[in-house]
Amino acid sequence: MPTGNRFFSSKWAGISLILLCLAIYLVPVTQYPLNRGEAMYARVPQEMLATGHWLVPTLNGARYLDKPPLLYWINLLGYKILGVSGETVRLPTLALTLGEIWLTYLIGLRLLGPRAAWLGTFVLFSCIGFFAHHFQILTDHLITLALVGALYTFLRWQEQGAFRWVVLFYLTMVAGFLSKGFIGLVFPILICSIYAWQQRQARLSSIFRPSWGMALALVLILPWFVFAEQANPGFLRHQIVNEQIMRFLGQRQPPDVHPFPVPWFWFFLLLWLMPWAVLLPEALCRFWRDTGSGAADRRGRLLIIWAAVILGFFTLSPSRLEYYSLPALPALALILGWRADRCLKDSHDRKLAWGLCTVSLLGLGILLLLPFLEQLFAEYRREFIGMCTLVKPIALWGTCLIPVLGLLGTWVGWRRPWLTFLSYGTLALVCLYFTYQTLVVLSPLISDKIPGEYLRLRAGPEDLVVMEGLEEFEHSASLIFYGRCRILVVKRNGFPQFPYPVPPTEDYLITPERFKELWLGPRRVFLLVDSAAPTDPFLTGAPLALNLHGKRLLVNRP
């Protein structure tokens, strides 16, 4: 890596980040199988493509009204251009990832300077959480991109006051709204308003005053909602009241199965930022102190406000998942990049070296942490039961290699800050490698690619496919995507259930009694069940079509 400021001030600095991100992310994006948590975002546009109906999303033939449609449309466009396959299904997600990287870098340029912007963006795509989630299809990537775009256009408007930046600001908020609802509006408005107050510049709040801006937003947002309400009476109440307001209050119906407690939400924030997270507490304190004076420096407070709004919002809401902190990662990564830049400017600043040493020591505890993580994940997602057995060989390698690399880098770079950062960055990439290998060995647990492809080849048009043990009906999408077939899901103890009325012709949730009738009836029935889920007595001795780690595919007659 060149150490001169000439490189960081050149156009190649930003391009190098894009190329480096592509080199790291391209293989995982195209090779990793769709897991149960993300496959819905791939299957819904697949059904749109097959039926030609792109205004009313469906999943497994039943209307799916929980999410706004923008991500489905983006993936649908990808299908039309690239086709539908396991290798191309996440390429639109890769494009969103590169957009996040680029806009984060541009914000860093304006707030922190060229070198800190480059370092912070590198920190962003080399931290475990950003990597592990950005080769999965999630609406959180789209709303993060919309938020970063809104903040970038807001900063450009602060600098120039040009009309085009106001237009782009409202367009990015519309994209945020159409990706995940009201938080697409709330986050940028709240962040920019607090920033305007903190900067003591009332002029900045005027960006929210143009009546034409709201009119533009309504013109782009309302048509889909009007059509969806006409096609599905009660949609607006479900989408606005149940999915937005009641979800934030933790009173959504049906209730979220496993919301994360606040301590685990913050624990995972630090885990997602590893191996850079050990630098974060001191970096935040110093950043807050050093951005307290001077007009140019005070603008950096936007990053702290940005992260605080996101993390505060989900801390207050009872409905939170472990990855809801993703929109805060760009801001925190830029702060970490700023801190690394300060270390590079002062050869006596040993914070990077001490951080690298701390990561090395933490690496010794990976094997000890593994059972705890399995217990935590399995409490919320049953398919993670047994992950220790699969992950232990990789964890053993990590326990041996991470401390060696970290301590060696600390020793080599103790008096050479650039060598310390290079060692730290190398260790971060090694951690990404171990993260990817971990997810690969876990994929049989959390993805239904293998049984889905088996069914696509073996199941006939008259055969029935049933899933057992699901708590959320969306988790059937991985099997549907790979199997290319409609399935039935057994409903037990009230789960899974639809949060809105579904016509009988679309309803694919069946009672245990109905499942028994089908199993004992004349048609061939395939049943995919997690090994940890209890099974009915009449399934004892059922022929085994596939026996995978963590799940079984049974058939009532070979």
Q: Tens digits of per-residue pLDDT, 131-177?
A: 999 989 999 999 999 999 999 999 999 888 888 999 999 999 999 99
Residue carrying structure tokens 């048509």: 223
- Percent pLDDT > 70 in the chain is 96
Separation of alpha carbons 464 and 519, rounded Å: 9
Separation of alpha carbons 213 and 251, rounded Å: 33
Tens digits of residue pLDDT in 450-477:
999 999 999 988 999 999 888 888 999 9
pLDDT at site 258? 67
Give buried/exposed letters for 63-85 (b at 16+ CB in 10 A, else e): bbbbbbbbbbbbbbebbeeeebe
The pairing of beta strand 551-555 with beta strand 544-548: antiparallel
**304 CB contacts (<8 Å, ≥6 apart)?**
284, 287, 288, 291, 331, 335
Separation of alpha carbons 176 and 440, rounded Å: 31
**464 CB contacts (<8 Å, ≥6 apart)?**
488, 518, 523, 524, 525, 526
Question: Which residues are registered as beta bridge partners of 526?
Answer: 465, 555
Q: Which two tokens stand for residue 208?
A: 């929210």
Residue type, 134: H
Q: Is the peptide bond before 254 cis (omega within 30 degrees of 0)?
A: yes
Separation of alpha carbons 226 and 167, rounded Å: 24
Q: CA-based angle 314:264:261, to the nearest 5?
A: 60
The residue among 192, 313, 194 whose CA lies nearest residue 262 is: 313
Q: Please, what is the angle between helix 183-199 and helix 301-316, to 10°? A: 140
Is the pLDDT reported for residue 411 higher than 60?
A: yes
**300 CB contacts (<8 Å, ≥6 apart)?**
111, 112, 287, 291, 338
Q: How far from the centroid of its chain's Cα atoms is residue 201's Cα? A: 34
Asked whether 306 and 191 are in contact (CB, 8 A), the reply is yes
Give 519's Cβ-side CA count (13 Å radius): 25
Query: What are the start-end ranges of the E strands in 374-476?
Result: 464-468
Four-CA torsion 394, 398, 401, 402, nearest 10 degrees: 160
Banded pLDDT at 1 (limits 50, 70, 90): very low
**59 CB contacts (<8 Å, ≥6 apart)?**
40, 43, 44, 47, 473, 474, 477, 480
Q: What is the number of other CB atoms lying within 10 angstroms of the CB of residue 294?
A: 10
What average pLDDT does the segment 22-37 reach? 92
pLDDT at site 237? 87
Is the pLDDT reported for residue 346 higher than 60?
A: yes
What average pLDDT does the segment 9-14 reach? 82
Ramachandran sector of residue 357 (left: φ over 0; alpha: ψ -120 to 50; beta: rest): alpha
Separation of alpha carbons 203 and 213, rounded Å: 16
Banded pLDDT at 7 (limits 50, 70, 90): confident
Is the pLDDT reported for residue 422 higher than 60?
A: yes
Q: Please give the model's pTM, rounded to 2 decimal places.
A: 0.93
Asked whether 169 and 154 are in contact (CB, 8 A), the reply is yes
Q: Is the peptide bond before 417 cis (omega within 30 degrees of 0)?
A: no
Question: Which residues are registered as beta bridge partners of 550?
Answer: none
Banded pLDDT at 382 (limits 50, 70, 90): low
Mapped to the 3 state alphabet, what secondary structure does 88-131 carry? CCCHHHHHHHHHHHHHHHHHHHHHCCHHHHHHHHHHHHHCHHHH
pLDDT at site 81? 92
Separation of alpha carbons 249 and 96, rounded Å: 29
Q: Please, what is the angle between helix 329-345 and helix 280-290, to 10°? A: 80
Is the pLDDT reported for residue 3 higher than 60?
A: no
User: What single DSSP character describes residue 415?
Assistant: T
Residue carrying structure tokens 């009988």: 504
What average pLDDT does the segment 94-122 reach? 95
What average pLDDT does the segment 380-385 reach? 68
Out of 18-27, 298-307, 362-371, 436-445, which region has the weakest mean confidence (pLDDT)?
362-371
What average pLDDT does the segment 279-301 reach? 83
Is the pLDDT reported for residue 4 higher than 70?
A: no
pLDDT at site 296? 52
